Amino acid sequence: MTDTLTIPSRPRAFRPATTEPTVVKGALIALCLAVLTVLLFAPLIAVFEEALRRGWAFALASLSEPDAQSAIWLTLTVAAIVVPLNAAFGIAAAWAITKFDWRGKAWVFTLIDLPFSVSPVVAGLLFVLMFGANSALGAWLVASGFPIVFAVPGIVLATLFITFPFVARELIPVMLEQGRAEEEAALTLGASGWRTFFTVTLPNIRWALLYGVLLCNARAMGEFGAVAVVSGKIRGQTTTMPLMIEMFYNEYLSVAAFTMAGVLALLAFVTLTLKTALEWRYADQLAATHRH
Amino acid sequence: MNIEIEEISKDFGTTAALHPVSLSIPSGTLVALLGPSGSGKTTLLRILGGLEFPTAGRVLFDGADATNLSVQDRRAGFVFQSYALFRHMTVFDNIAYGLRARPRQSRPQSAEIARRVTKLLDLIKLPDIGARYPSQLSGGQRQRVALARALAIEPRMMLLDEPFGALDAKVRRELRQGLRDIHDTTGLTSIFVTHDQEEAMELADLVVVMSMGRIEQVGKPEDIRARPKTEFVREFVSA
Amino acid sequence: MTARPFTLRNPTPMPGWGLSFGIMVTMLSVIVLVPMGVLLWRGFVGFGAGGMWEVVNRPRVWSALELSFRAALIASLFNLVFGVILAWVLVRYRFPGKRLIDAAVDLPFALPTAVAGIALTAIYAPNGVFGSVIQDTFGIRVAYTELGIWIALIFVGLPFVVRTVQPVIEEIDRETEEASATLGASRLRTVTHVVLPMLAPAALTGFALALARSVGEYGSVIFIAGNLPNVTEIAPLLIVIRLEEFDYDGAVAIAIAMLTISFALLLAINLIQIWSRRRMGAV
């Protein structure tokens, strides 16, 4: 603003037509920070505070107990089985849906999303009904020494159900957007189907795939409700990390419960960090509008 | 209404979008701000509409200082390049928007609003599209609806940002005449921004040629064509 | 040139139809469709609609179902309003720590529900940091009451509306807001009459996702709820209890009741969506 001109009245600072008054801005930012502090940050801090209440050594000792060790091991095992299967499904479904035209696509798309609107507890119930000792199939499986419910296969199945849409949902929009031209070009140049997939398709979708795998893994390792129903909670055998947290908590082993929770919270940090890094660097190669 | 622009300048950070420019526009004139992109013509239009605030200088409407007048109080009928129609509202609701936004004491009765909207739809020669949504209109129809919406607030002037920019050549020619007709009917001082010299020359009473944030020449179309003041104007006009 | 012959079954040279379609259909069937079919068969054929109604039509079951849907609706409504505000703040305003906040919004997706459950309980319990303050100043108990369930469900559903609305705000044409201002509308009116209607379809999608998620939520709720029958006992917990009693029919009936209500709600939201999208056209 120059002083050479006398501007008669300037009642208020000029505000562009697409912004709110500073007071409103400040109030909204403050509101958001307050709610997020009370809802997100405070609980997170509480986890570590409770875990370290009796010091690092005590917390770490609780992790080296056999029950805790086997829970960690089981969770890693389940994730190692579920995530690759889920990724394979996601890639296959995305390929079938985006590279071919067929009737009923929209229906299949809806069915893939179905597990999102089913309670985890109901998901667990499904497999108890199918393979539990009360069903003919289940009784036969138990008799032949291959129980599914109250055993690791049931945990894997329930986790697969819960994480079912993750990779497919991430890949389908990305592959739809990329179209078929590049694959067609590779085919005209004489590449085989698998060669086309590995040299053309996969490089184009790798970040989206990683993104989906990341979310799938986080959910697989953290699933509680569905696993609680099918696992039978046999200590040292079918107790995953989230279930172990509940057991410790109910036994008033607060430090052990919160230490285990802290480990999973660290996993969540890693997931969020990698996810954010992917979003910043490869935003154009992700289905950003569908993210969650 | 006559418009007086006194030594208006505008900086965006360290770059100057407008060097001090002055311009006087007599009441009822149809003015073209003509220039290539980056010449500052849209910035000048937005300052007149109250969408940008000048770094220095004054704007006077009928001799009264309007520099600090808020967008809402300016009553400038602004037609945007993208038309910016509200896509969740019918054409009728779009046109009625400005009247309904008035404070209660000056807001017309709803029957009166309906009457005015109908009149405006007649003026733009689209009497039957009130119930439609913008997505159901052609580009030319959208432009005319945007014009009607701006006229509904009984503006003191019309400001149009590349009003024909998004249209194909044939529709463009039809609508030029339409704009001229509406200008002549309403008698409002109208300023439109364009990069198309043919459009400016054909339509405007007064052409303001701009380049690099400066006014190169102001004059009637025939004067500019016959006696270009600078090399830039000569080249731009002959292109 | 290796010209591939066209076959009638697959009128495209693209390879991998059989394999990809086969994997997709097999896994979809084994993991999702057959188990869901078994549930419905057990309920409608094995147990019968009348038997299921008898199970559901008891005070304890009714109050659990009511609680689950009421709390989910309340939490999702909170998330609808707060989510739109947060998305707006994250897209339009600049403030220190914004990127951190943006990343943190996804925490409820990444943090296991059991962790969230015990953590929220720790701070909202009567002896917790916030719990004690709230009790002392307002005389309200948070944990072990319905209020605690709301908090847990708000946590769980927080990211959905933010993440669906954010990209829409990014794409709003500023000229639309400017047009409203030039027509004389105050900023408040522009926001309520122009901006919010444009965000409504996306916000509704986010609301539906949050609702679907929080109706069935179990892990984060059971720690903070107190689980008192008829008072703070949610429907998923009642299913677990029935299963522990080996009352499979009871569990099936409650599960089918939950699914039915959920799908009715989601269908209704979807219809509103289609209606509002159609109004706006494909622009």
| ipTM of predicted complex | 0.90
User: How distant is the Cα of C267 from the closest Cα of chain B, in angstroms?
Assistant: 22
Per-residue pLDDT tens digits for C12-29: 778 888 999 999 999 999
Q: What pLDDT, on a 0 to 100 scale, did the predictor assign at position A47?
A: 96
Structural domain boundaries, residue A39: 21-51
Which residues lie below 8 Å from residue C46, measured CB to CB, with a gap of 6+? Answer: C249, C252
The length of chain C in residues reads 283
The CATH number for C129's domain is: 1.10.3720.10
Would the CA dihedral through C195, C196, C199, C200 be positive or negative?
negative
Same domain, A248 and A217: yes
Report which residue type is found at A280: W
Instruction: For residue B57, give the chain A residue with the closest CA.
Output: A5
Same domain, A94 and A39: no
**Range from A37-46, B160-169, C91-100 carrying the lowest mean pLDDT:** B160-169
Instruction: For residue C198, give the chain B residue with the closest CA.
Output: B88
Same domain, A215 and A117: yes
How do the domains of chain B map onto residue ranges? 26-54+66-214
User: How distant is the Cα of B191 from the closest Cα of chain C, in angstroms?
Assistant: 15
Same domain, A254 and A277: yes
Same domain, A195 and A234: yes
Q: What pLDDT, on a 0 to 100 scale, did the predictor assign at position A250?
A: 94
Whether A16 maps to a domain, the answer reads: no
Mean pLDDT of C61-68: 96
| Total structural domains within chain C | 1
B26-54+66-214 belongs to CATH 3.40.640.10: no
Select from C191, C212, C243 the Cβ nearest to the Cβ of A125: C243
Contact A272 C181 (CB under 8 A): no
Per-residue pLDDT tens digits for C167-203: 999 999 899 999 999 999 999 999 999 999 999 999 9
The CATH number for A60's domain is: 1.10.3720.10
CA–CA dist A128, A117 (Å, integer) = 19
Q: Report the alpha-carbon angle B190-B169-B222, nearest 5.
A: 50
Residue A236 backbone class (left: φ over 0; alpha: ψ -120 to 50; beta: rest): left
Whether C158 maps to a domain, the answer reads: yes
Nearest to A123 by CA among A152, A150, A97, A154: A154
CA–CA dist A59, C112 (Å, integer) = 19
On the 0-12 / 13-18 / 19+ scale of CB atoms within 10 A, B226 is exposed
Per-residue pLDDT tens digits for B53-69: 999 999 999 999 999 99
Whether A283 maps to a domain, the answer reads: yes
Interface residue B56 vs chain A (CB under 8 A): yes
Residue C8 has pLDDT above 50, yes or no: no
Residue A286 has pLDDT above 90, yes or no: no
Q: What pLDDT, on a 0 to 100 scale, did the predictor assign at position A178?
A: 87
Whether C7 maps to a domain, the answer reads: no
Percent of chain C residues topping a pLDDT of 90? 82
CB pairs A-C closer than 8 Å: 287
Cβ atoms within 10 A of the Cβ of C98, count?
A: 14
Same domain, A261 and A184: yes
Same domain, A136 and A279: yes
The length of chain B in residues reads 239
Quickly list H helices, chain A.
Answer: 22-36, 42-51, 55-63, 66-99, 105-113, 120-131, 136-143, 152-163, 166-178, 181-188, 193-196, 202-222, 225-231, 241-250, 254-281
| Mean pLDDT for chain A overall | 90
Whether A8 maps to a domain, the answer reads: no
Tokens 């936004």 sit on residue: B101
Per-residue pLDDT tens digits for B28-46: 999 999 999 989 999 999 9
Whether A11 maps to a domain, the answer reads: no
Q: What pLDDT, on a 0 to 100 scale, did the predictor assign at position C276?
A: 76
Same domain, A70 and A175: yes
pLDDT band, residue C2 (cuts 50/70/90)? very low
Per-residue pLDDT tens digits for B4-27: 999 999 998 888 899 999 999 999
| Total structural domains within chain A | 2
Whether C169 maps to a domain, the answer reads: yes
Greatest pairwise CA separation for chain A in angstroms: 97
Contact C17 A197 (CB under 8 A): no
Whether C50 maps to a domain, the answer reads: yes
Residue that wins the pLDDT comparison between A126 and B165: A126
CA C269 to chain centre: 12
Kind and range of the H or E run holding B18: strand B15-25
